[in-house]
């Protein structure tokens, strides 16, 4: 019998899950899956580590009751499929920890109330992240839940790196750069020494390029600067988010186009980025396969902006030893990596074209002054590790679920 840790990543219309078993301090992946299309016709699939389907189901519209129904269904499914193993804890991805939460925390009603206050800072994510936490607090109050924050890894950045040039009274309200995708960057910082010891001890820029996308400058494995700021809207263009924008554009939208806050939120979070520029899709695979001029324009702007941000982050680091690509686009889109590496030629990156097409892990030539790598991220494992450590699960100390 092993203690099992359930990792949940709840999005606007999906609930992704993974289960890890504690074998002493080692975490072994056991099963994973997703509930999708929660707001229309929900679907469920779960597979074991070798990809064998353990369960599959579809529901008609309105039959599953959203995130709460999905969480309840998953709890029943796990009850039936964990066999002799015992569910010991749930670890959640929570996008924003605000000023207060610099490390994973055991969740209570009081903590959920504090995290709810941060919903306006990540409207695309935070409210959804909290839904399964609330459902499990109500249904399984005895089950320890740990919230792991995408902002936490960046807390160690200098005040200078976190500051906006705004009046002090606004800054004091917590209006500053937080940075996101921290669980991904923390995972990569933890495995980088096994790929490139010198870079891990030195200066690295990680490009996390998924639907959401950002870049992070690491010095000796710690976050020094990142492209995302106060919200996950800042930085490079993303699937549907605009990335950096002159704040004057927002004033123009209000004054001239008479848009209100919700309309602007929808435009900047859901209608912009690759989707808005291309008019074709937010999906990089579709854009790369498309003949539409808008698709090419979107890909060009995406890689151009990343190239410029590389310069900014390399300046923050005072040079560069390695460039790392991760997440959906970073791990799988060789043509995008090629363009970015070309833009980083002046930083000493020389691409090995065959290695890039083969997917790495090392995609720079032997003689390249700066190394380039493709390293798959694993945010789920990072969350499971945090949950295990926070609760001392599977260790000699035994479970420790005292709230802080
Ligand atoms: P999320 O941020 O939702 O976790 P992912 O990390 O899964 O997103 O990344 C999704 C992005 O990765 C999409 O734009 C998708 O088109 C892109 N992607 C995945 N596989 C490929 C591929 N083989 N070639 C190009 N892009 C890909």
Q: 328 CA to middle of ligand 1, Å?
A: 3
Q: Please say if the pLDDT value at position 93 is more than 80.
A: yes
Q: 285 CA to middle of ligand 1, Å?
A: 7
* Beta bridge pairs of residue 308: none
Give the angle 318-183-185 at the CA atoms, nearest 5°: 25
State pLDDT tens for residues 130-151: 999 999 999 999 999 999 999 9
Task: Answer positive or negative: Cα dihedral of 285, 185, 323, 229.
Answer: positive
Nearest CA to ligand 1 atom 23: 332
Nearest CA to ligand 1 atom 24: 333
Q: Of all atoms in ligand 1, which is nearest to the CA of residue 211? A: 2
Q: Please say if the pLDDT value at position 399 is more than 70.
A: no
Residue 72's pLDDT is: 92
Residue 122's pLDDT is: 83
Q: Of all atoms in ligand 1, which is nearest to the CA of residue 239? A: 14
The residue length of the chain stands at 404
Nearest CA to ligand 1 atom 7: 328
Sheet holding 26-36, edge to edge: 53-58, 43-48, 26-36, 15-23, 3-10, 86-94, 145-149, 105-106
Q: What is the DSSP letter of 321?
A: S
Q: 216 CA to middle of ligand 1, Å?
A: 19
Q: Which residue has the higher pLDDT, 398 or 126?
A: 126
Q: 251 CA to middle of ligand 1, Å?
A: 33
H or E element, residue 310 = helix 293-317
Q: Of all atoms in ligand 1, which is nearest to the CA of residue 327? A: 6
Give the number of C-alpha atoms closer than 13 A to the C-alpha of residue 396, restricted to the C-beta side: 0
Q: Let me know: does 224 contact 204? Beta carbons within 8 Å.
A: no
Residue 356's pLDDT is: 98
Q: What's the whole-number average pLDDT of the chain? A: 95
Q: What is the DSSP string of 218-265?
A: EETTEEEEES--SSTTSSS--SS---S--HHHHHHHHHTT---HHHHH
Question: Which sequence positions are flagged as catalytic?
Answer: 150
Q: 241 CA to middle of ligand 1, Å?
A: 15
Q: 210 CA to middle of ligand 1, Å?
A: 5
CATH T-level assignment (fold) for domain 182-379: Nucleotidyltransferase; domain 5 (3.30.420)
Nearest CA to ligand 1 atom 4: 210
Residue 106's pLDDT is: 97
Query: 3-149 and 182-379 share one CATH topology?
Result: yes
Q: Which of 124, 188, 210 to mutate to test the pocket of ligand 1 (most atoms within 8 A of CB)?
A: 210
- Note the pTM of the prediction, 2 decimals: 0.94
Instruction: Give the domain ranges of the chain.
Output: 3-149, 182-379
Instruction: Show the ligand 1 pocket: residues with CB < 6 angstroms.
Output: 210-212, 239, 283-285, 288, 327-329, 332-333
**Cα–Cα distance for residue pair 352/23, rounded to 1 Å:** 39
Q: Let me know: does 301 contact 277? Beta carbons within 8 Å.
A: yes
Residue 1's pLDDT is: 85
Sheet holding 371-374, edge to edge: 222-226, 213-219, 203-209, 322-326, 371-374
Q: Which of 13, 329, 335, 380 to mutate to test the pocket of ligand 1 (most atoms within 8 A of CB)?
A: 329
Q: Please say if the pLDDT value at position 394 is more than 80.
A: no
Q: Please say if the pLDDT value at position 398 is more than 80.
A: no
Residue 395's pLDDT is: 65
State pLDDT tens for residues 261-311: 999 999 999 999 999 999 999 999 999 999 999 999 999 999 999 999 999
Task: Answer positive or negative: Cα dihedral of 304, 307, 312, 315.
Answer: negative
Q: Which of 95, 124, 211, 334 to mutate to test the pocket of ligand 1 (most atoms within 8 A of CB)?
A: 211
**Cα–Cα distance for residue pair 250/5, rounded to 1 Å:** 43
Q: Of all atoms in ligand 1, which is nearest to the CA of residue 336? A: 25
315 to 81, 197, 320, 347, 393: CA distances (angstroms): 51, 22, 9, 10, 42
| Cβ neighbours around 60 below 10 Å, total | 9
Q: Please say if the pLDDT value at position 402 is more than 90.
A: no
Instruction: Give me the numbers of helices (H) and strands (E) for the chain, helices first please.
Output: 16, 13
Q: Let me know: does 244 contact 361? Beta carbons within 8 Å.
A: no
Domain spanning 3-149 has what CATH number?
A: 3.30.420.40
**Cα–Cα distance for residue pair 2/57, rounded to 1 Å:** 27
Q: 377 CA to middle of ligand 1, Å?
A: 12
State pLDDT tens for residues 152-174: 999 999 999 999 999 999 999 88
H or E element, residue 208 = strand 203-209
Q: Of all atoms in ligand 1, which is nearest to the CA of residue 377? A: 6
Average pLDDT, stretch 15-42? 93
> Does 62 sit behind a cis peptide bond, omega within 30 degrees of 0 on the bond before it?
no
Q: Which of 16, 277, 284, 340 to mutate to test the pocket of ligand 1 (most atoms within 8 A of CB)?
A: 284
Task: Give first-to-last CA distance, the chain, whole Å.
Answer: 29
């Amino acid at each position: 019998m092993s203690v099992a840790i359930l990792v949940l990543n709840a999005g606007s219309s999906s609930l992704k899950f993974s289960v890890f078993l504690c074998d002493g301090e080692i975490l072994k992946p056991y099963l994973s899956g997703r509930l999708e299309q929660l707001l229309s016709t929900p679907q469920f699939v779960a597979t074991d580590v070798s990809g064998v389907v353990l369960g599959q189901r579809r529901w008609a519209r309105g039959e599953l009751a959203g995130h709460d129904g999905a969480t309840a269904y998953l709890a029943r499914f796990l009850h039936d499929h964990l066999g002799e193993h015992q569910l010991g804890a749930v670890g959640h991805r929570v996008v924003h920890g605000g000023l207060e939460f610099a490390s994973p925390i055991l969740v209570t009603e009081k903590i959920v109330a504090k995290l709810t206050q941060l919903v306006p800072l990540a409207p695309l994510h935070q409210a959804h992240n909290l839904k399964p936490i609330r459902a499990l607090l109500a249904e399984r109050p005895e089950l320890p839940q740990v919230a792991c924050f995408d902002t936490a890894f960046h807390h160690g950045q200098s005040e200078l790196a976190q500051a906006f040039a705004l009046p002090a009274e606004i800054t004091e309200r917590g209006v500053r750069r937080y940075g996101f995708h921290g669980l991904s960057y923390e995972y990569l910082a933890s495995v980088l020494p096994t790929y490139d010891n010198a870079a891990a001890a030195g200066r690295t820029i990680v490009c996390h390029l998924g639907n959401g996308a950002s870049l992070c400058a690491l010095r000796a494995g710690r976050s020094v600067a990142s492209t995302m700021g106060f919200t996950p809207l800042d930085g490079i263009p993303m699937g549907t988010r605009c990335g950096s924008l002159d704040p004057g554009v927002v004033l123009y939208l209000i004054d001239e186009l008479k848009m209100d806050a919700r309309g602007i939120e929808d435009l900047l979070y859901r209608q912009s980025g690759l989707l808005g520029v291309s008019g074709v899709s937010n999906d990089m695979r579709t854009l790369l396969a498309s003949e539409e001029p808008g698709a090419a324009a979107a890909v060009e702007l995406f890689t151009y902006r990343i190239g410029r941000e590389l310069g900014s982050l390399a300046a923050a680091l005072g040079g560069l030893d390695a460039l790392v690509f991760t997440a959906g686009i970073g791990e799988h889109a060789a043509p995008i990596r090629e363009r970015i590496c070309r833009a980083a030629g002046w930083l000493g990156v020389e691409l090995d074209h065959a290695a890039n097409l083969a997917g790495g892990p090392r995609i720079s030539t032997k003689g390249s002054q700066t190394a380039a790598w493709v390293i798959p991220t694993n945010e789920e494992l990072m969350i499971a590790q945090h949950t295990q450590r926070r609760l001392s699960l599977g260790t000699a100390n035994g479970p420790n679920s005292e709230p802080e």
